[in-house]
């Protein structure tokens, strides 16, 4: 007879700083697994969001299923229905955020069916999030993903009408007009050219645009240059310029070894890492309501933030534990 599984122990553990694991916030729902810093739930995220208290989450970082023509295996709302599908999640997300909290939403664009023109669904979504739900647009950011396929093939590689897409939209929304954020936490090293110019001394000038160019930037030097909302320099500090096809990360390797399907739509760890550093500090609580392989939770664990992840497909959540093999406290 198969040995019965041990029961899930439902007591809050303390994280590295002695603060409670955020599972204590989700009343009445047992986590699927927990780690020192976080708790993952196999559930519909609307249910978990509704169980969370007001103003309990510092940042939501997520990538929901996009509205695509071809249905991905986990199901996507169609473009026409997308905004109405998403708004109930968005209202709950706004409610659970602290007043200085941010909502980072990664969505991909899409073509109109049968023609080589683009849908406006992600812009309509942004407008609804601001005008109907009450978010503020802190900044529109872009994830440069050089690994994106030249799709749709009909327009890009067959008829050669369109060029290849290589960005995805990352809407940085905030609950109020004053989100907590610190760009000093994401500074990039100055380029060799900038350092050389600074050492040589620039000619102070006024650009045609009217901007003053100083003779040196040493007086404003705070340890690095301020990243753009699309970063185009080299790794490792070019954190948004990352493909999502990493073939050698431990999650991918362990999935392959175990013969488990790799999540088909992961974002790179660099994406949540950038925004976690920009928007949160140690022990803050981060939520990913569409967690997939739980990239966000793994990055939060590494950065010593606390996290809650929700995914409604067990296969994805189960293998997401590979990301925490060294640190998981209890499995189901």
Residues that bind ligand SAM (CB under 6 A): 44-45, 63-65, 74, 263, 265-267, 290, 292-293, 295, 310-313, 316
Residue sitting closest to ligand SAM (CB):
292
CB of 262 to ligand SAM, least distance (A): 9
Nearer to ligand SAM, 238 or 311 (CB): 311
Q: Which residues contact 149 (CB under 8 A, 6 or more apart)?
A: none
- CA dist., res. 49 & res. 215, Å (int): 52
Shortest approach of ligand SAM to residue 169 CB, angstroms? 13
98 or 293, CB closer to ligand SAM? 293
> Between 231 and 310, whose beta carbon lies closer to ligand SAM?
310
Taking the C-alpha atoms of residue 107 and residue 24, their distance in angstroms, rounded to an integer, is 30
Residue 56 or 252: the one with the smaller Cβ distance to ligand SAM is 252
Residue 50 or 196 with smaller CB distance to ligand SAM: 50
Alpha-carbon radius of gyration of the chain: 21
Output the smallest distance, CB 15 to ligand SAM, in A.
22
The dihedral built from the CA positions of residue 107, 112, 114 and 117, taken in this order, carries a sign that is negative
CB 240 within 8 A of CB 231: yes
- Closer residue to ligand SAM (CB): 80 or 314: 314
Please state the length of the chain.
332
Nearer to ligand SAM, 41 or 135 (CB): 41
- Give 235-240 contacts, CB < 8 A, sequence gap 24+: 237/188, 237/189, 238/188, 239/186, 239/270, 239/271, 239/273, 239/274, 240/141, 240/142, 240/143, 240/144, 240/170, 240/270, 240/271, 240/274
Q: Least Å distance between CB 251 and ligand SAM?
A: 9
* Three-state SS at 24: helix
Give min distance, CB of 35 to ligand SAM, in A. 16
Rounded to an integer, what is the distance from CA 61 to the centroid of its chain? Answer: 4
Question: Which one, 107 or 278, has the nearer CB to ligand SAM?
Answer: 107
Least CB distance from residue 17 to ligand SAM, whole Å? 26
Least distance (Å) between residue 230 CB and ligand SAM: 19
Beta strands in the chain (DSSP E): 33-35, 38-42, 57-62, 97-107, 136-144, 167-174, 205-206, 212-213, 285-288, 306-311, 328-330
Whose Cβ is closer to ligand SAM: residue 295's or residue 318's? 295
Give SS3 for 233: coil
Residue 149: CB atoms within 10 Å: 11
Query: What minimum distance in Å lies between the beta carbon of 75 and ligand SAM?
Result: 7
**Biggest CA-to-CA distance, the chain:** 82
Residue 64 Cβ, how far from ligand SAM at the closest point, in Å?
6
212-213 vs 205-206, strand pairing mode: antiparallel
């Amino acid at each position: 007879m198969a040995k019965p599984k041990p029961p899930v122990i439902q007591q809050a553990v303390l994280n590295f700083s002695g603060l409670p694991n955020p599972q204590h916030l989700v009343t009445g729902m047992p986590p699927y697994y927990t780690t020192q810093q976080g708790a993952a739930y196999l559930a519909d995220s609307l249910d978990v969001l509704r169980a969370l208290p007001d103003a309990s989450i510092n940042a939501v970082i997520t990538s929901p299923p996009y509205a695509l023509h071809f249905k991905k295996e986990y199901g996507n709302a169609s473009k026409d229905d997308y905004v109405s599908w998403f708004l109930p999640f968005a209202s709950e997300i706004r409610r659970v955020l602290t007043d200085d909290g941010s909502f980072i939403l990664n969505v991909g664009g899409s073509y109109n069916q049968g023609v080589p023109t683009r849908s406006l669904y992600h812009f309509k979504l942004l407008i609804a999030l601001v005008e109907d739900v009450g978010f503020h647009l802190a900044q529109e950011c872009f994830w440069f993903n050089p690994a994106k396929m030249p799709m749709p093939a009909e327009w890009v590689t067959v008829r050669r009408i369109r060029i290849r897409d290589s960005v995805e939209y990352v809407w940085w929304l905030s609950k109020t007009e004053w989100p907590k954020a610190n760009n000093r936490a994401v500074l990039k090293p100055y380029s060799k050219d900038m350092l050389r110019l600074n050492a040589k001394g620039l000619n102070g000038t006024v650009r045609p645009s009217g901007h003053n160019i100083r003779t040196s930037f040493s007086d404003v030097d705070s340890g690095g240059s301020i990243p753009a909302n699309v970063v185009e320099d080299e790794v490792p500090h070019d954190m948004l310029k990352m493909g999502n096809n990493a073939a050698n990360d431990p999650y991918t390797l362990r999935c392959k070894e175990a013969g488990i399907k790799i999540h088909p739509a992961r974002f790179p760890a660099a994406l949540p890492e950038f925004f976690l550093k920009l928007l949160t500090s140690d022990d803050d609580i981060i939520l990913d309501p569409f967690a997939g392989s739980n990239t966000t939770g793994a990055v939060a664990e590494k950065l010593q933030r606390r996290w809650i992840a929700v995914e409604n497909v067990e296969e994805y959540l189960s293998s997401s534990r590979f990301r925490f093999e060294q640190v998981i406290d209890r499995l189901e």
